[in-house]
Amino acid sequence: MGFAKYKEKMKKIFNRQAFKDFWNRQGFYIILFICVCAIGATAFWTSMDRNEVQMQEEAEDDMISQEQKQDEPPEEPVQQADASDKADKVDIKIKDVVEDEKTQGEQNQVAPKSQSGEVDHDDDKSKATADKPVPVRATKPKLEVVQVSAAAQSQKSYGVLMQKPADGKTIVDFALDHLQYSRTLKEWTTHPGIDIESPLGSQVRAALDGVVESIEEDSLMGIIITIDHGNGLKTRYANLSTKDMVRPNQQVKKGQVISGVGRTAISEILDPPHVHFEVLKDGKNVDPKNYLE
């Protein structure tokens, strides 16, 4: 009997009529609450979308400004003057030219005697003049400028004359005691060699007779070939296209093709196609331009 009463009581609680009465009393507030929640959720998601769009627009603006500044390197820091970067040197010879006007004046002051034996009265004047010191006019020294070719001076100073490893102009100079701006790295850095611009795939030649010391692949400078020329002198060629044209310990001649111009140097990938050329003397990098023809 207890269970039957409980069952009957539950039926009364969940009776349809009771539910209708509840809905009539509280239905409006329930619908209002649901609408308020929907409006709040819509406003929240709309604001989130606007923030995302604004952030995307700001990121695009930053990318555009960075691309515009890529070709305009920042102001280079103050650099000390490098006496070794002077490409043209001249030998100046000074010739001191002083006319011996004293001797010439004495010769002009002496008058000849007449054949008749008569003494010219002007002799006394000439003797008096000869006794007086004749002033010597000092002339300015003449400067004779003799230009010495870069190849002759290089051969005279370093004793070795190398062939240029590739045909083209130098686009990046040697820089160890000062900094240069790298477009690829986007920072100021040193440069232990020179970059010679040349078409992709063009020949790269040995600068001097020697022996191939090593052939390697570097993560930054790409394919590198090093040649030992003896007496502590070595040359290094980087950003090459292939390593299959020579082998280690192979004898090579000056001007022999050892590889081609490639784009394997990741650290210089934004520069035009070129060969990176270094000269090492006793293990230290030196300016290759001092050895090139």
SS (H, E, C) 5-29: HHHHHHHHHCCHHHHHHHHHHHHHH
Share of the chain above pLDDT 70, in %: 62
Identify which has the larger pLDDT, 57 or 115: 57
pLDDT digits (tens, 9 = 90+) for 216-227: 999 899 999 999
CA neighbor of 101 nearest in space, from 143, 138, 140: 138
DSSP 135: P
Decide if pLDDT at 250 tops 80: yes
Q: Given pLDDT bands bounded at 50, 70 and 90, which one contains residue 169?
A: very high
DSSP states along 23-50: HHHHHHHHHHHHHHHHHHHHHHHHHHHH
Question: What's the CA angle centered on 105, arms 104 and 110, to 5 degrees?
Answer: 105
Average pLDDT over residues 136-152: 49
Mean pLDDT computed over every residue of the chain: 76
Average pLDDT over residues 150-178: 79
Decide if pLDDT at 202 tops 60: yes
Identify which has the larger pLDDT, 49 or 103: 49
Q: Given pLDDT bands bounded at 50, 70 and 90, which one contains residue 134?
A: low
Decide if pLDDT at 156 tops 70: no
Q: Given pLDDT bands bounded at 50, 70 and 90, which one contains residue 60?
A: confident
Q: CA–CA separation, 45 vs 47, rounded Å?
A: 5
pLDDT value of residue 56 = 75
Q: CA–CA separation, 191 vs 265, rounded Å?
A: 14
Confirm if 87 and 289 have CB atoms less than 8 A apart. Answer: yes
pLDDT value of residue 285 = 95
pLDDT digits (tens, 9 = 90+) for 191-201: 999 999 999 99
Instruction: Name the class of domain 165-290.
Output: mainly beta
CA neighbor of 186 nearest in space, from 261, 64, 269: 269
DSSP 60: H
Q: Which range scores top for mean pLDDT: 34-38, 116-120, 229-233? A: 229-233
Q: Is 5 exposed, middle or buried (0-12, 13-18, 19+ CB in 10 A)?
A: exposed
pLDDT value of residue 284 = 95
pLDDT value of residue 286 = 96
DSSP 122: H
Decide if pLDDT at 75 tops 70: no
Average pLDDT over residues 123-131: 50
Distances (CA, A) of 139 to 96, 144, 177, 251: 8, 15, 45, 61
pLDDT value of residue 89 = 45
Q: What is the pTM of this model?
A: 0.49
DSSP states along 262-288: ----GGGTTSPSEEEEEEEETTEEE-G
Decide if pLDDT at 91 tops 80: no
- Looking at the DSSP bridge assignments, the partners of residue 172 are 195
The pair of three-digit structure tokens given for residue 147, joined into one six-digit string: 């230009």
Q: How many CB atoms lie within 10 A of CB 59?
A: 10
Decide if pLDDT at 95 tops 50: no
